[in-house]
């Protein structure tokens, strides 16, 4: 299949590009490099042994998208492009709606014009809001507590309308839980600019000695050790989930929401312990107050993905930590 990856040089996009290419798909990456670097192109070419076509552009540039879809005879799009920092979305809601919602409208216009009607969308478990029960299945009510989450929810709803307006559309909204880890080569991974928002890159930087300690956001949650519990999923499992989604869309039409998670939750302290074992480094931490908007526990019921995609996450927590550490070390050596 010929597949366009918007946001293709980003964290999840670059791993998915590797997996799809190794499965024999022709992949074109499209990105405005607002949160990534074109240096990743060399890395993924090194992993798969061939270059990837790359278009530098914004998803709000409908004409450029349309030309890209036409000139590469695209069959499907995986739409990763978007802004993703919850805190920033509260401070800059207009930027978030413009990038995420307007960007998706622009993409849909280009796809409609070119009659490309297969779309995989990067959604998030954040669309479930405060969990009313666990594990979270796809029938759990949706809600949002911040502009980032709301942008994902609006896009999901918009895509539902598009699929009901024209039965030729095939749309999968993949609700990711907590993607972590890196490609086993250590060549690509998550390397956030500035202070990491997420737990895993923060832990990795503390282990590497770049930061003195981890602040643990709350130790009084109703969980085993009082710290927050999340469903961490290896980014390579997630990438393989996208390949499975594309395959699923060749056999079905309509709109589908599918969780991509492992079904198992780990606490912050369990993550710290696992990382210390994988890196043989100490990760000093200090208990701090809860972070506003955090939920105590969040983990997936991954049954639907198993049934529809014949896919399950198979990599362990040790794999997640070991690959993150390998990537962190390559960053320190100036490799990424
Ligand atoms: P990322 O920031 O590494 O990748 C996103 C890419 O999109 C970046 O390369 C960025 O330059 C690009 N981009 C942003 N706005 C753009 C625009 N207007 N036009 C063109 N390119 C643009 O993030 P990621 O972790 O790879 O996330 C990919 C997608 O998955 C995002 O939509 C994110 O919201 C979603 N998601 C991520 C997580 C997570 O924890 N990483 C969890 C749930 C959902
Ligand atoms: N967390 C933490 N310290 C940090 C970053 C995160 O204790 O510096 C906790 C956070 O409160 C949550 C878990 O780690 O319980 C995962 O947080 P992350 O931001 O990675 O994911 P999300 O909360 O978006 O699921």
The protein residue with its alpha carbon nearest to ligand 1, atom 22, reads 81
- With vertex at residue 122, the alpha carbon angle to CA 158 and CA 126, rounded to the nearest 5 degrees, is 85
Please tell me what DSSP assigns to residue 72.
Answer: T
pLDDT in tens, 314-335: 999 999 999 999 999 998 777 5
Among 200, 201, 195, 238, smallest CA distance to 331 is for 201
> Per-residue pLDDT averaged across 261-284, rounded?
98
Strands 2-6, 76-79: pairing kind: parallel
CB 144 within 8 A of CB 150: yes
- What are the start-end ranges of the H helices in the chain? 11-22, 39-48, 62-71, 86-91, 93-96, 103-114, 147-165, 199-207, 235-249, 268-279, 303-309, 317-332
Distance in angstroms (rounded) separating the CA atoms of residues 11 and 148: 18
pLDDT exceeds 70 at position 66: yes
Ligand 1 centroid to 84 CA: how many Å? 6
Q: Provide residues with CB under 6 Å of ligand 2.
A: 178, 197-199, 202, 214-217, 228, 230, 268, 291, 294
Give the domains, in start order, of the chain with CATH numbers: 2-183+232-261+300-314 (3.40.50.720)
How remote is the CA of residue 323 from the centroid of ligand 1, in Å? 20
**230-242 tens-digit pLDDT:** 999 999 999 999 9
Q: What is the pLDDT of residue 332?
A: 79
DSSP string, 240-251: HHHHHHHHHHTS
Question: Which secondary-structure segment (H or E) carries 120?
Answer: strand 118-124
């Amino acid at each position: 299949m010929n597949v366009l990856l918007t946001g293709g040089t980003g964290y999840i996009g670059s791993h998915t590009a590797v997996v799809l290419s190794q499965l024999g798909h022709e992949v074109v990456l499209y990105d405005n490099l607002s949160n990534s670097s074109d240096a990743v192109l060399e890395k993924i070419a090194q992993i798969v042994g061939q270059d990837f076509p790359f278009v530098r552009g914004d998803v709000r540039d409908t004409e450029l998208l349309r030309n890209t879809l036409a000139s590469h005879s695209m069959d499907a799009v995986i739409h990763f492009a978007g802004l993703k920092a919850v805190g920033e979305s509260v401070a800059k809601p207009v930027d978030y709606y413009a990038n995420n919602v307007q960007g998706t409208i622009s993409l849909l216009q280009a796809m409609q014009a070119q009659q490309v009607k297969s779309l995989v969308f990067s959604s998030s478990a954040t669309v479930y809001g405060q969990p009313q029960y666990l594990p979270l299945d796809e029938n759990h009510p949706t809600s949002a507590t911040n502009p980032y989450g709301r942008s994902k929810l609006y896009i999901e709803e918009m895509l539902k309308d598009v699929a009901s307006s024209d039965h030729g559309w095939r749309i999968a909204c993949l609700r990711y839980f907590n993607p972590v880890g890196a490609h086993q080569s250590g060549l690509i991974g998550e390397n956030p600019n500035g202070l990491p928002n997420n737990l895993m890159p923060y832990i990795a930087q503390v282990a590497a000695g770049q930061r003195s300690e981890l602040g643990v956001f709350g130790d009084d949650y109703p969980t085993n050790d009082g710290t927050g519990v999340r469903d961490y999923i290896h980014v390579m499992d997630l990438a393989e989930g996208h390949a499975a989604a594309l395959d699923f869309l060749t056999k079905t039409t309509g709109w589908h929401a599918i969780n991509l998670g492992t079904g198992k939750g780990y606490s912050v302290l369990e993550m710290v312990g696992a990382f210390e074992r994988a890196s043989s480094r100490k990760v000093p931490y200090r208990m701090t107050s809860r972070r506003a908007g955090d939920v105590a526990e969040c983990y997936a019921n991954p049954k639907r993905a198993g049934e529809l995609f014949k896919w399950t996450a198979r990599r362990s927590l040790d794999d997640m930590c070991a690959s993150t550490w390998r990537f962190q070390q390559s960053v320190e050596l100036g490799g990424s």
